[in-house]
Amino acid sequence: MLFHVRMDVRIPVDYDPQRADELKRIERERAQDLQRQGKWRHLWRIAGQYSNFSVFDVSDVQELHDIISTLPLFPFMDIEVAPLCRHPSSIHDDDR
Amino acid sequence: MLFHVRMDVRIPVDYDPQRADELKRIERERAQDLQRQGKWRHLWRIAGQYSNFSVFDVSDVQELHDIISTLPLFPFMDIEVAPLCRHPSSIHDDDR
Amino acid sequence: MLFHVRMDVRIPVDYDPQRADELKRIERERAQDLQRQGKWRHLWRIAGQYSNFSVFDVSDVQELHDIISTLPLFPFMDIEVAPLCRHPSSIHDDDR
Amino acid sequence: MLFHVRMDVRIPVDYDPQRADELKRIERERAQDLQRQGKWRHLWRIAGQYSNFSVFDVSDVQELHDIISTLPLFPFMDIEVAPLCRHPSSIHDDDR
Amino acid sequence: MLFHVRMDVRIPVDYDPQRADELKRIERERAQDLQRQGKWRHLWRIAGQYSNFSVFDVSDVQELHDIISTLPLFPFMDIEVAPLCRHPSSIHDDDR
Amino acid sequence: MLFHVRMDVRIPVDYDPQRADELKRIERERAQDLQRQGKWRHLWRIAGQYSNFSVFDVSDVQELHDIISTLPLFPFMDIEVAPLCRHPSSIHDDDR
Amino acid sequence: MLFHVRMDVRIPVDYDPQRADELKRIERERAQDLQRQGKWRHLWRIAGQYSNFSVFDVSDVQELHDIISTLPLFPFMDIEVAPLCRHPSSIHDDDR
Amino acid sequence: MLFHVRMDVRIPVDYDPQRADELKRIERERAQDLQRQGKWRHLWRIAGQYSNFSVFDVSDVQELHDIISTLPLFPFMDIEVAPLCRHPSSIHDDDR
Amino acid sequence: MLFHVRMDVRIPVDYDPQRADELKRIERERAQDLQRQGKWRHLWRIAGQYSNFSVFDVSDVQELHDIISTLPLFPFMDIEVAPLCRHPSSIHDDDR
Amino acid sequence: MLFHVRMDVRIPVDYDPQRADELKRIERERAQDLQRQGKWRHLWRIAGQYSNFSVFDVSDVQELHDIISTLPLFPFMDIEVAPLCRHPSSIHDDDR
């Protein structure tokens, strides 16, 4: 079950840099772990932005929410979620 | 070189259905041909919308524009393009 | 699996009223059939608007899209979809 | 009398976490109490967001306002209210 | 029970002027009848716009919707509805 | 001379509560005084919001601005002003 | 009594050019007549747009609405109105 | 060479009032000096807002930018600029 | 004197293709002539859009408006204009 | 490979002026260095705004992102990126 997610990170310019770095470090570990598990299928940087487009592959909506809402940078992010399904013109039965 | 594209199709409700069907048929062929060539890497339907999220893999911006602007449904579409690059937390060197 | 959907219907003022009535009649039958099946859990009119808020209960995203995109009024509607999950403060395990 | 409400919670990232936790704890109790009374009919988390869609069942507009404006997180929320009524295609006389 | 409503009328410039005049004539009669009944408490023109701000006084949400959705110009209008209640700084118990 | 005004109050969540209460107290006195003078004709709370819709009855634009811009909560408010005039379908010569 | 008005003219591309020219001719005469009367104090073209910024000097809101709503191009225009008053830093008592 | 400018001033509610007053005092002097030089042709308060509409008469774009960007309140303002030219229906050759 | 312009072309899908082609042909000639004169300094296609970013170099605002408003596709375009000046970090005295 | 970029700089009004000046100084050096290398082809100030329009000429999207995201003022900027290609009406094969 695929979901398209856009995340825009906004860290206040006067936020403590050490805490920010620590949050980013844990976020990276978390993201890489989820990628290795196959939950976070795609993760692209949007050029020129502190933002990403991602595709998540989860068993249900609850799992999607649990993943996103426990990311260390979640309180700093604007997030848009769109459920995806097979496009009738896709050549793949299952485009992950 | 990857580009993220959102396409929203808006066909007027009084548009000739036969011409619309013919345009959609050619569009599908064109989309599948481009997928087979590896140019149109991903093509997902956004659930509940006559819209898709796509990822194109092209040699340069000109090729991207030539592909999109010659799609049969191009005159009916609102299109948003975002250039993508590697995310520093990606576990892939090249996430296509 | 629950999805929240907002539908805004926009029928052009010069659209043939008989065709519109026929589409609305089939739409109503379709909507009632889906409610009886338990797929379309809630259907509320937004006061003062030709719009509704709905909650769909489907087995996956594909089913949601198939239902919405085959509604007779689909070509006349602006649609917003949001996936729902359990709220931690809900007193229900499963609020349908 | 039903009202559809969307609440988006925005707690500043530098807000005291203990005070935030205390506010959330009271908010949860309040929400559960109102659900038990049947005033807060539905409460769903919007996946990927610190937001909910809710349906309130109140005796009049004043009661709706009194409930929402005294929630502990009210000063942190963006709120949208839409009055609901029976949809002519609903199979329920009274869809709560 | 008071509701604040904004109505923006948009008649296509090529719409048959006689039909438009007939619709406006019936709309005016309807509006005046509802004012005399005390349902349509206030009706102001927004200067420079084909728009009005109105205050409706109805027994419930259903009545509000039935009134608005049966106005002859309803298919030509963009409508915004906001439920009103007593303002704590009002000097009136019941500001109609 | 009537003006429709919407005021949305946004007090930062970390603003000193005592100063806020004092400002609100003076604001209320000021609002009630202006109502008694007949300048602030209507004042309604928008349900679920820290917002109001108001109708002012002033001798000219300058008086409107002087009233609004000297309200104690003016620095905390987003304000929209629309000049009103008689609606041709109104049954009142002078709807105040 | 001054009002700032922005007018954006949108004539459909398939509108009969002769009727459009006739409307524009009458609009120009009307606009020039109102300027000579001192009611339409300023009239500037916004560069690159089929739009203008205007300043009207009228005796009350009703007169403003009567002028704007009877312009021949009124049905083709999007209009924004803002009431103006003396700026405390102006060197003029009465900046017309 | 005329430019239409809208300035919206937003001073944080916790900004030091003495510094704000000092900035406003210098801003006023600067604005009056530019008006006397004929550079700042019109300056109107938008009623109900901490905002103005202005018309500048400068020799080129650089001069416009130098004037605006050195205003003491520039860091607190949202600014919109539109270049103006003669309207074909104006009765003035040069409407300043 | 430089102006940055964005043009978005929207030709209705049922517009006569021969007339559209003729308009585009004249538009191209006009655009190339203006480029040769040095008035239209830059003309870029925005990838994936029927849109361009342009930089015009004109003697005054009136010339800019005369050029844009007489383009054959002007009635089909949404246009945004921004006056440009030298950036203090530019290494060019005059970046054309 | 050309990209059009808009940058809007927003430095909080209470940000330490010395740190801001230091960031601006390094930003200027960086920008001038990139201009000398031919990467930052155009850099224009948008009149009246703390904003610029820029054109970057880079070998790929990654280089674009690396340049923008390491600018000292990056955390203070809202950024929009649009990929550019040759316009069919351009008289240049390669408009840089």
Q: Which two tokens stand for residue F43?
A: 């004042």
Q: Give the pLDDT band of residue H2 (cuts 50, 70, 90).
A: very high
DSSP for B47-85 reads TTSSEEEEEEE-SSHHHHHHHHHTSTTGGGEEEEEEEEE
Kindly indicate whether the domain formed by F2-83 is annotated with CATH number 3.30.70.1060: yes
User: Which pLDDT does position B13 carry in this prediction?
Assistant: 96
Q: Which two tokens stand for residue C46?
A: 């937004």
Burial class (CB in 10 A: 0-12, 13-18, 19+), G19: exposed
Residue with tokens 């907002």: C6
CB pair distance less than 8 Å for E83 and D86: no
> Closest Cα partner for B53 from C71, A95, A77?
A95
Single-letter code of the amino acid located at G35 = Q
Sequence-separated (6 or more) residues with CB below 8 Å from residue F96: F2, F41, F55, F57
Cα distances (Å, whole numbers) of residue I33 to I52, I80, J93: 17, 22, 16
| Cβ(E44)–Cβ(F84) below 8 Å | yes
Q: Which two tokens stand for residue E91?
A: 């000097």
User: Which pLDDT does position I83 carry in this prediction?
Assistant: 98
User: Which pLDDT does position E95 carry in this prediction?
Assistant: 82
On the question of pLDDT at E94 being above 90, the answer is no
The list of chain I residues with pLDDT below 70 reads none
Candidates A10, A49, A52, partner chain J, best to mutate (most J CBs within 10 A): A49
On the question of pLDDT at B95 being above 90, the answer is no
- Would you give the end-to-end CA distance of chain D in angstroms? 10
Query: Which residue of J27, J42, J84 is in closest CB contact with I95?
Result: J42
For J92, phi and psi rounded to 5 degrees?
A: -105, 140
Q: Hey, is the C-beta of B20 within 8 angstroms of any chain C C-beta?
A: no
Number of H helices, E strands in chain B: 2, 4
Single-letter code of the amino acid located at J41 = R
User: Which pLDDT does position E28 carry in this prediction?
Assistant: 98
Burial class (CB in 10 A: 0-12, 13-18, 19+), C45: buried
- Would you give the end-to-end CA distance of chain C in angstroms? 10
Q: Give the pLDDT band of residue D12 (cuts 50, 70, 90).
A: very high
> Closest Cα partner for G2 from G59, G44, G42, G57?
G57
Q: Which two tokens stand for residue I55?
A: 């930089």
Long-range contacts of J19-26 (CB under 8 A, 24+ apart): J23/J72, J23/J73, J23/J76, J24/J72, J24/J73, J26/J72
* Secondary structure of residue C18 in the 3-state scheme: helix
- What is the percent of chain A with per-residue pLDDT over 90, rounded to a whole number? 96
| Cβ(A72)–Cβ(A26) below 8 Å | yes
CB pair distance less than 8 Å for C68 and B48: yes
Distance from CA of A13 to the nearest CA of J (A): 6
Residue with tokens 């949007």: A46
Kindly indicate whether the domain formed by I2-77 is annotated with CATH number 1.10.645.10: no
Kindly indicate whether the domain formed by J2-80 is annotated with CATH number 3.30.70.1060: yes
User: Which pLDDT does position G60 carry in this prediction?
Assistant: 97
pLDDT in tens, A48-91: 999 999 999 999 999 999 999 999 999 999 999 999 999 999 99
On the question of pLDDT at D31 being above 90, the answer is yes
User: Which pLDDT does position E18 carry in this prediction?
Assistant: 98
Q: Where are the beta strands (DSSP E) in H1-96?
A: 2-9, 40-46, 51-57, 77-86
D-contacting residues of A 64-93, CB under 8 Å? 64-65, 68-69, 74-76, 79-81
Rounded-to-integer distance, Cα E9 and Cα E89, Å: 33
> Closest Cα partner for B41 from B64, B61, B75, B69?
B64
Q: Give the pLDDT band of residue C62 (cuts 50, 70, 90).
A: very high
Q: Give the pLDDT band of residue B88 (cuts 50, 70, 90).
A: very high
| Cβ(A80)–Cβ(A5) below 8 Å | yes
Rounded-to-integer distance, Cα I61 and Cα I57, Å: 10
| Cβ(J53)–Cβ(J46) below 8 Å | yes
Span B37-52, average pLDDT: 98
Q: Which two tokens stand for residue H60?
A: 């080129």
Instruction: List, in sequence order, every residue forming a beta bridge with E5; answer none if it has no partner.
Output: E54, E81
On the question of pLDDT at H87 being above 90, the answer is yes
- ipTM for the predicted complex comes to 0.96
Side-chain-side CA neighbours of J78 within 13 Å: the count stands at: 5
User: Which pLDDT does position B96 carry in this prediction?
Assistant: 83
Q: Give the pLDDT band of residue D94 (cuts 50, 70, 90).
A: confident
pLDDT in tens, F13-37: 999 999 999 999 999 999 999 999 9
Q: Which two tokens stand for residue D25?
A: 């704890």
Rounded-to-integer distance, Cα A22 and Cα A87, Å: 40
Residue with tokens 């728009």: E51
Distance from CA of F51 to the nearest CA of E (A): 9
Q: Which residue of chain B comes nearest to J62, CA vs CA? A: B85
The list of chain J residues with pLDDT below 70 reads none
Q: Which two tokens stand for residue F7?
A: 């005021």
pLDDT in tens, H10-31: 999 999 999 999 999 999 999 9
Q: What is the CA radius of gyration of chain E?
A: 15
Set of chain D residues whose Cβ sits within 8 Å of the Cβ of A27: none
Span E22-27, average pLDDT: 98
Query: Which residue of E4, E31, E45 is in closest CB contact with F44?
Result: E4
Single-letter code of the amino acid located at H4 = H
Instruction: Assess whether chains G and H touch, using the rule of 3 or more C-beta pairs within 8 angstroms.
Output: yes
Q: Give the pLDDT band of residue B94 (cuts 50, 70, 90).
A: confident
> Closest Cα partner for A33 from A25, A53, B95?
A25
Question: DSSP letter at D78?
Answer: E
Burial class (CB in 10 A: 0-12, 13-18, 19+), E45: buried
> pLDDT averaged over chain B?
97
Q: Which two tokens stand for residue C49?
A: 């608007």
Q: What is the CA radius of gyration of chain A?
A: 15
Q: Angle J60-J66-J72 (CA atoms, 0-180°, nearest 5)?
A: 145
Domain regions of chain G by residue span: 2-83
For F18, phi and psi rounded to 5 degrees?
A: -70, -45
Query: Which residue of C13, C48, C49 is in closest CB contact with E75?
Result: C13
- What is the percent of chain F with per-residue pLDDT over 90, rounded to a whole number? 96
CB pair distance less than 8 Å for B82 and J85: no
Cα distances (Å, whole numbers) of residue F88 to A75, E69, G78, I26, J80: 51, 21, 21, 48, 47
User: Which pLDDT does position H33 carry in this prediction?
Assistant: 98
User: Which pLDDT does position H95 carry in this prediction?
Assistant: 82
pLDDT in tens, G7-63: 999 999 999 999 999 999 999 999 999 999 999 999 999 999 999 999 999 999 999
Rounded-to-integer distance, Cα E14 and Cα J4, Å: 40
Q: Angle B13-B15-B20 (CA atoms, 0-180°, nearest 5)?
A: 110
On the question of pLDDT at B93 being above 90, the answer is no
Rounded-to-integer distance, Cα J74 and Cα J69, Å: 6
